Amino acid sequence: MKIHNFILSIVIIFTSTSLLAYERIPNEQFACYSNFNKMMVSPDGRYLLIRNTVKNNECDVEKEKEKGVEDEMFDRGLLLLDLDTMETTMISDGSSGGGVSDAGWLSSTRIWYTPRYQTGKTMKSMATFAMNIDGTRRTIIKEGGYWGQVIYDADYDDPNHVYVINNERRNIIWDYYRLNVYTGKKTRIAFGPDIGDMKGKAILGSLTNHETKLPLGMLIDVGLDRVLYEYDSKNKEWKEHFRFACQQPGFTPIGTYKGKVVVSGSKFSPSGKLLEENDTNAIYFYDMDTREFSNKLYQDPRYDVDGLTGSCRQASGGSFSRYGSSEIAAIGYESYQQEVVFFDKDAEATYIAIKQLFPNDQVSLESSDVSGKVMIVRVSNTNNPGDYYIVDLYKNSVNLLYQSRPWLDRSKLAKAQPVTYTARDGLEIPALLTLATKETDKNYFIILPHGGPNTKQYIGYDTWVQFFANRGINVLQPDFRGSTGLGTNHYIAGNQEWGKKMQDDITDGVLWAIENGYADKDRVCIAGASYGGYATMAGLVFTPDLYRCGINSVGVTDQQQLLDNFAKKASRFQSWDEEPLLEWGDLSTPEGQEYAKEISPILHVNNIKAPVLVLHGSNDYVVPVFHARDLISKLKSLGKEYDSMFQAYDGHCVTSCGEMANLEYLNKQDEFLEKYLFN
């Protein structure tokens, strides 16, 4: 197996660096994908299990567009590294027929792994195996099926068993088992809730009791309702515990700590009366037997801490548990940096110590041993795609293991800064501002609204932003109203405001940038993908004098086509088939039909004054390609200036397509910007 340059084993030396002279980053470096690597520390901290791509981690664009990436990118090997001797043992070379699709630890001396599915094999032939790290006592612990099984707890007193969930009995619904890691024998300890037809439903989360290993509860999305079911261990049955509606006050269980349930949201009395309505999700302890909440443990005044924004859409965040325990040690969430709320004081002290080594970057824990002293941490930022270190507090060492996109010189990438501006109606809009790395004679500017639209601006490395910044363009990425993670009011304020107040927020971001010297008023462009592509077209048709150009990637242009029979078209595995009726519009009403006509860019193309670049994948099943083709037809018939590019083998993407498609999209944008923004 080729593992060239994978393990560097270099103790990191921290030095100050000065900004290097500007250098144009080739589009190939933005278009390339980095190798996949998943690193897992053994429970005792002695070994590292590494599932990795078997090719060299170097930038080499796959020329065959039908492939997308090199064949080797799908070949994942499995490697065991002894952290005491730094010797490696190959478990799988990742070659055809021998690749590994997933793997993990069962104990400090035993692992599980699932071979990569090979075309032509029957589903029955698929299996998950367990074996000792020396290769002995190999056995099957799960047979067949697309779905795997997940370890949710371990037993420190019994290394022969772990506790798993899987849905081999029934799609979607999980059942709970005690699994013998040597024989593969499973003993069911609890059924999941059988609540009838699961069509249109989705599991949003589950709770288990660390002491008994039995389930406590499960939150299920049922249309516009969220229903918390509780497990009665005495009678071995599930029953409805609490129900709340999308965009109404509610709470979401997110884990347990020392036997107490931790919830995120608002506070209620045992009878269900609302006691504390929180705009941003607050954290409480909750007793499922008495239905009583503790006093508020934590609340960020501006950002949701995990849970559901507005009791509807997933907020940013998630809980972290130590190996072998279902109890949470901390909750992480995003403001415009990584935030962490700790329950475990030892974990907090460890995090603070590591964060001091990387004070200007985001640090996230990827894996650790039982003690929490040996761990894999990811260090990243808007100007760092990700560096992975192994931290050993016993040895007081920090070693660099792996870099994502190592061909990108971090010193040449732009670091975003959080800013806030005020929309015309007084709503505060947080945003990321990334300044160009190239000196120019003008403040070239692009506003880049995110997709969704009911998501939050991603805080991390962004290929598209770095491409623009490297070409000499300042970039603003706003969390306009309707975005999640910023509380209920900010989210609900976006209801049926496509092309209206949501668009005003974007317009006001441009005006703020002009007023504060980040943009020249005659050198402003708008770009975006998916909803961002819609916002691009809405900006060009509703504020045509504001923009010099627009780049619409995989964007919605016809709201009527998007919403027509939307709930029935949505996948049964999605948890958002009815929410858009509240958020995006409802064609079943005359008002909804009129709204869709009013805000559909395809019906207002005659207003466009600026040239537009249309990028779309022919295999886009999220925003079908007719949105782009119909737009181009209208642009052409009205004599509007435009350019376009379609990718035959790709779909809903602009910088995450196949490598050659990425490269062609970037080259096309270079040409477009040179012609219409810079000249």
CA distance 534 to 118: 39
Indicate whether 570 pLDDT > 50: no
User: Tens digits of per-residue pLDDT, 8-23?
Assistant: 333 333 333 334 578 9
CA distance 177 to 141: 12
Q: Residue 652: how many CB atoms within 10 A of its CB?
A: 19
Query: Which is it for the CA torsion 527, 533, 537, 538, positive or negative?
Result: negative
User: Tens digits of per-residue pLDDT, 315-325?
Assistant: 988 888 776 67
* Of 474, 632, 607, 621, nearest in space to 544 by CA: 607
In Å, what is the CA distance from 467 to each residue of 77, 139, 416, 670? Answer: 32, 49, 13, 9
* Segment 439-445 mean pLDDT: 95
pLDDT at 197: 61
Indicate whether 251 pLDDT > 80: yes
Residue 270 preceded by cis peptide, ω within 30: no
pLDDT at 97: 64
* Segment 478-485 mean pLDDT: 97
pLDDT at 200: 55
Domain 414-558+600-676 grouped into CATH 3.60.70.12 = no
**Is the separation of the CB atoms in 263 and 304 below 8 Å?**
no
Element at 221 (helix H, strand E) = strand 215-222
Chain centre to alpha carbon of residue 319: 15
Confidence label for 400 from pLDDT (cuts 50, 70 and 90):
very high
pLDDT at 574: 47
Indicate whether 567 pLDDT > 70: no
Quick one: how many helices (H) and strands (E) in the chain?
Answer: 12, 41
In Å, what is the CA distance from 389 to each residue of 36, 309, 379? Answer: 15, 33, 8
Q: Which residues pair with 391 in a beta bridge?
A: 375, 398
Q: Which residue has the higher pLDDT, 160 or 123?
A: 160
* Segment 649-672 mean pLDDT: 97
User: Tens digits of per-residue pLDDT, 329-366?
Assistant: 899 999 988 899 999 898 899 999 999 999 989 999 89
Indicate whether 573 pLDDT > 50: no
Query: Which residues does 370 contact at the CB level (< 8 Å), separation at least 6?
Result: 43, 44, 45, 156, 322, 323, 324
pLDDT at 7: 36
- From the number of C-beta atoms within 10 Å of its C-beta (0-12, 13-18, 19+), residue 510 rates as buried
Domains of the chain, residue spans: 414-558+600-676
Indicate whether 385 pLDDT > 90: yes
Mean pLDDT of the chain: 89
In Å, what is the CA distance from 608 to each residue of 549, 634, 646? Answer: 10, 11, 22
pLDDT at 520: 98
Strand runs labelled E in 267-406 = 267-268, 274-276, 282-287, 292-293, 298-299, 308-309, 313-314, 318-321, 328-334, 338-342, 362-368, 374-381, 384-392, 397-403
**Is the separation of the CB atoms in 146 and 129 below 8 Å?**
no
**Is the separation of the CB atoms in 302 and 479 below 8 Å?**
no
Of 89-103, 483-497, 626-640, minimum mean pLDDT range: 89-103
Of 125-129, 362-366, 426-430, minimum mean pLDDT range: 125-129
**Is the separation of the CB atoms in 158 and 179 below 8 Å?**
no
